[in-house]
Amino acid sequence: MTLWQEYRQPNSFSEAIEDLINSPQPAVPIAGGTDLLLDMRQGRHETAQTLIDLTGIPEMKLIEERGNFFYIGACVPINRIVDNSLTEKHAEALVEACDLIAGPQVRNTATLGGNVAHALPAADGTIALVALDAEAEIANSNGLYRLPVNKLFLGPGKSAIDRNLN
C-alpha cells in the first residue's frame, strides 16, 4: 500500500502554505508522523497524494522565550521538550506529561504539534497545554494567527484547524 505519491520539504511557512495549496491533493502536513502514518496504514486517515514534511522549517523546531511568551515549535520531538531546561522552567506540567507519552523510541520522533493536531482525547501533551492555558500559532493563507489550545478540539479526533488553510 502506497501512503503518498509525492514528498515535499519546504524551508519556510510561505513555502509550506504554497505546497499545501498547490500540490496534488490531498496534501497532508507531517512532522514526526507516529500517529499519522499509523492511521494511514490502518485506514483511519486518507492516504496522501502529497506529503508535506514541515521539519525543514527552522522556526518549527525551536524552543525559546519570546518576550512574555514561551514558544515550542510544532516539529519539536517530545524528548526535546522533556529534556529542555526552558520547558522545565516555564511548563513543568508539560514536561511531566510529555514524559508519559509512549516509550523512548516514539518520544524521539513524535511531536507535540502532532499530538495537538490529532485531537486525541488521551493525548498527554495536549491535556497539559490546556491546563497551562496555552495558545497554538496557526499558519494559513492569510498569515499566522493564535488560538487557545482548548478551542482546537471539536470532538475526539476532530480538530478545528482548517485543512483548507482558510
* CATH code for the domain in which residue 62 is found: 3.30.465.10
Q: Which positions ≥6 away from 26 have C-beta within 8 Å?
A: 46, 47, 48, 49, 50
- The angle formed by the CA atoms of residues 116, 117 and 119, to the nearest 5 degrees, is 70
Is position 165 within any domain? no
| 31 within a domain of the structure (yes/no) | yes
pLDDT at 108 over 60: yes
Percent above pLDDT 70 for the chain: 97
Please say whether the beta carbons of 141 and 148 come within 8 A: no
Which range (16-25, 44-53, 112-121, 129-138) has the least confidence?
A: 112-121
Confirm whether 166 is domain-assigned: no
pLDDT digits (tens, 9 = 90+) for 24-37: 999 999 999 999 99
Specify if 36 maps to a domain: yes
* Domain count within the chain: 1
Is the residue at 48 inside a domain?
A: yes
| Domain containing residue 78 | 6-159
- Inter-residue contact 29 to 52 (CB < 8 Å): yes
Stretch 6-12: mean pLDDT: 97
pLDDT at 75 over 90: yes
Q: Averaged over 85-105, what is the pLDDT?
A: 96
Indicate the pLDDT class of residue 19, thresholds 50, 70 and 90.
very high
- Identify whether the C-beta of residue 156 lies closer than 8 Å to the C-beta of residue 120: yes
Cβ(75)–Cβ(55) below 8 Å: yes
Helix, coil or strand: residue 63: strand
CA distance 58 to 158: 27
Q: Does 111 reside within a domain? A: yes
Q: Is residue 164 part of a domain?
A: no
In a domain, 1, yes or no: no
